[in-house]
């Protein structure tokens, strides 16, 4: 299992209507951010295995990648699409509402077609109409999807995206940066390598990570 990295995406210094417009464009019909809408995966790679034992030569010739795994790591910066997603309206979180049902078993490997959270669905849609969406939060495997953020910011070069992230390895691989038109314009708040930190700095970044992930921070837990 990978380390799960919490990502929080915000748009800063933009009109509420513009923030609303962008967020609704990058979310899919289920209310989730889908990396394929930002950097599409070539159709020939969909459903391939890793390693690809069926058509690696054809995939590589057409796309430069032998399988979905190679593509995702290179073009998305992480091996999976976003998961464990929520959007926030006035700091209240709403999970996506649509799931596809194909089995009687409540199994994580199945997809569901039902509406387990109808209240959230209604509130979420109401938030979209009001134009008050604040942020999108999701998890990625091992690291942040840096190429996605670069591409996303190029799609909307008039706004500044603020990315806050924290690894579940609390205190390392965390921070916050701002990006515009594919270029990082502020990276002054990113945790340095763990081995270079003083004890005081380690506590600072552990507290930061806990706040991002939603953990309660107790310094004694890390003594």
Q: Is the pLDDT of residue 91 over 60?
A: no
pLDDT band with cut points at 50, 70 and 90 for residue 100:
very low
Using the predicted structure, report yes or no on whether residue 4 has a pLDDT greater than 90. yes
Classify 128 as helix, strand or coil: helix
Measured CA to CA, the distance from residue 191 to residue 85 in angstroms comes to: 24
CA-to-CA dists, residue 171 to 201, 209, 216, angstroms: 9, 6, 13
Let me know the angle formed at the C-alpha of 164 by 65 and 178, rounded to the nearest 5 degrees.
85
Euclidean distance between CA atoms 127 and 90, whole angstroms: 9
Q: What share of the chain is helix, strand, coil (3-state, %, to 5)?
A: 35, 25, 40
Pick the more confident residue, 19 or 201: 201
Pairing of strands 83-89, 133-141: antiparallel
- Mean pLDDT to the nearest integer, 163-192: 96
3-state class of 1 per DSSP?
A: coil
**Percent of residues, the chain, with pLDDT higher than 70:** 77
Task: Work out the average pLDDT over 82-102.
Answer: 60
Q: What is the mean pLDDT of residues 13-36?
A: 82
- Tell me the pLDDT band of 126, cut-offs 50, 70 and 90: low
pTM: 0.82
Contact of 42 with 62, CB cutoff 8 Å:
yes
CA atoms within 13 A on the CB side of 192: 9
pLDDT for residue 98: 47
- Give pLDDT, residue 130: 61
- Farthest CA pair distance, the chain: 55
Q: DSSP letter at 34? A: -
Q: At 15, is the pLDDT very low, low, confident or very high (cuts 50, 70, 90)? A: confident
What's 213's DSSP letter?
A: H
Average per-residue pLDDT for the chain: 84
Mean pLDDT score, 144-162 = 96
**3-class secondary structure, 171:** coil
Q: How far are the Cα atoms of 12, 20, 133 from residue 127, in angstroms, in the given order?
A: 18, 10, 6
């Amino acid at each position: 299992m990978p380390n799960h990295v919490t990502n929080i995406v915000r748009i800063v210094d933009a009109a509420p209507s513009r923030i609303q417009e962008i967020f609704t464009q990058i979310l899919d019909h289920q209310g989730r951010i889908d990396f394929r809408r930002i950097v599409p995966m070539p159709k020939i790679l969909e459903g391939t295995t890793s390693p690809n034992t069926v058509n690696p030569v054809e995939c590589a010739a057409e796309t430069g990648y032998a399988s979905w795994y190679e593509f995702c790591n290179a073009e998305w910066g992480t091996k999976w699409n976003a998961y464990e997603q929520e959007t926030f309206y006035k700091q209240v979180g709403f999970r996506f509402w649509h799931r596809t049902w194909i089995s009687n078993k409540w199994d994580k490997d199945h997809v569901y077609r039902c509406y387990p959270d109808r209240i959230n669905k209604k509130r979420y849609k109401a938030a979209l109409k009001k134009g008050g969406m604040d942020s999108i939060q999701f998890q990625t495997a091992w690291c942040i999807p840096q190429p996605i953020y670069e591409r996303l910011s190029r799609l909307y070069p008039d706004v500044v995206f603020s990315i806050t992230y924290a690894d579940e390895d609390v205190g390392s691989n965390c921070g916050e940066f701002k990006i515009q038109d594919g270029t990082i314009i502020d990276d002054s708040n990113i945790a340095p390598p763990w081995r270079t930190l003083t004890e005081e700095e380690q506590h600072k970044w552990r507290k930061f990570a806990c706040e991002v992930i939603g953990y309660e921070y107790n310094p004694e837990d890390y003594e």
